[in-house]
Structure 1
Amino acid sequence: MAKKHSVKAETRARTGSGLLKQMRREGWLPSVLYGKNADNKNLKVDAKAFREMLGESESENILINLEIEGEGSSLAFLQAIQHDPLTGEALHADFLAVNEKTELQASVPVHLLGTAAGVKSGGVLEQGLHTLDVTCSATNLPEILEFDVSELALGDSLHIGDVTFPKGVTPRYDAEVVIAHIGAPRVEETADEAAAEAAPAAAAEAAEEAPAEEEAPAEA
């Protein structure tokens, strides 16, 4: 299950772009909290705490206790972040108000565990999915999904339908989708093939270096 983080927040009035820039200079991240059974709230959250939270998380699928000044704590799911295209800094965050039973759709990072038997035989591990879209309740939201590939032999694949997901987590892909595959080893170039490829180049080089024939003198 994903960790819950706590971030301090304050309500704010709807403001123009100039005041939003000033808010960021003062160390706040403009945000909004919304949900099916909640009123929309314009917020500003502690930008430093927000950056630290992202740095400690495997992905941006995060459950947060928003500690809103004067209103208490509100459980929220980090729905989206707007980033500066040049610096990558967060410019705005959208939070979805949830409870423990709220159904979420999230893209969860995939980690492969173990060294595949096929890799030990010279094969190559090819990871088909680095993130996996799932549906789950807020209570069951995983921070990462880990799958063991140690039993995969050369030519084997690990499919969605081959693995067991955490309780309450349902993949949004078909069972046939490949998570990982052990491909054939790369064939090294033989000496004969290398010589055949080098021959035309050597001939061309020799032709360039050969001295030009002298012209015969003209008859008087």
Structure 2
Amino acid sequence: MTDVLHVELREQIGTAATRRLRKAGKVPGVLYGHGEQNLHFSATSSEVAALVRHHGKTVQLSGAANEHALVNEMQWDPLGIDVLHLDLIRVNLKEMVEVTVPVRLHGEPQGVREGGILLENLHEVDVRCSAGAIPEDLGLAVGGLKLGESLTAAELELPEGVELVTDPETVIAHIEAPRAAREEGAAEGGEPEVIGRSEEEQE
């Protein structure tokens, strides 16, 4: 899905002007690329928030600019709540681009029903596709995953025309035995298999 951003031209740039925009419920941004002049614009916070919710990668601009653009970067406040600035790149929907797309796990793993814990090692991957066919996410079926097993990026559900850039051998998710079971195995003198812990468990 392509979100629409209604943009207004920013005639003043700088810290003071930016603060006034944010107080007025707007997000400053810049549009560049394709050898054209940079365009400094502002968009409403509500439309930018919708773009974030939809994990939008491409946007249709209207108002001060009427063209498609690719979201290159979002600058966030220190708490990671509000977008402070948008960087957009002009794009033709037919041209090939490399983008980062979130991974969506689906299904109830067999290993979880056996008492294991599903750990997601990677939450997003890089893909290459046309700018007009960027998927919102990539699915990964985990229903058949058993204790001690893992799934790699090669097993992601790629739509037609979408090519995986991330190393296909990268582990996306795995099932780990409960901590009590691992400790019991260690106490009995066995050497439990070492499995990479997720970022969430390390924190």
Using the size of structure 2 for normalisation, the TM-score is: 0.80
1:155 partnered with 2:142:
no
Q: Secondary structure at the match of 1:175?
A: coil
Query: Match of 1:168?
Result: 161
CA contact (8 A) 2:139 2:156 kept: no
1:103 partnered with 2:103:
no
Aligned amino acid, residue 45 of structure 1: A
Aligned amino acid, residue 162 of structure 1: E
Match for 1:140 among 98, 120, 133?
Answer: 133
Query: Match of 1:207?
Result: none
Query: Match of 2:62?
Result: 67
Paired residues in the alignment total: 184
Query: Match of 2:172?
Result: 179
Query: Structure 2 vs 1, CA of residues 90 and 166 (structure 1 numbering), >3 Å: closer, same or farther?
Result: same
Please report the RMSD computed on the Cα atoms of aligned residues, expressed in angstroms.
2.2
Structure exhibiting the larger radius of gyration computed from Cα positions: 1
Equivalence map 1:1-220=2 (5 Å): 3-54=1-52, 56-57=53-54, 59=55, 61-69=56-64, 71=65, 73-86=66-79, 88-187=81-180
Shift of residue 162 of structure 1?
3.1
% identity of equivalent residues: 34
Give the ranges of 4+ consecutive aligned residues of structure 1 lying more than 3 Å apart after TM superposition.
185-190
Name the CA distance, whole Å, in 1 between partners of 2:23 and 2:156: 47
The runs of 5 or more residues in structure 2 that have no matched partner are 188-203
CA contact (8 A) 2:138 2:156 kept: no
- For residues 35-62 of structure 1, the C-alpha deviation after alignment (integer angstroms, 9 at most, x for no partner) is 12433111111223222332x31x3x42
Shift of residue 110 of structure 1?
1.0
Q: Secondary structure at the match of 1:168?
A: coil
Query: Structure 2 vs 1, CA of residues 33 and 157 (structure 1 numbering), >3 Å: closer, same or farther?
Result: same
Name the CA distance, whole Å, in 2 between partners of 1:87 and 1:165: 30
CA contact (8 A) 2:69 2:91 kept: yes
Using the size of structure 1 for normalisation, the TM-score is: 0.74
Query: Match of 1:218?
Result: none
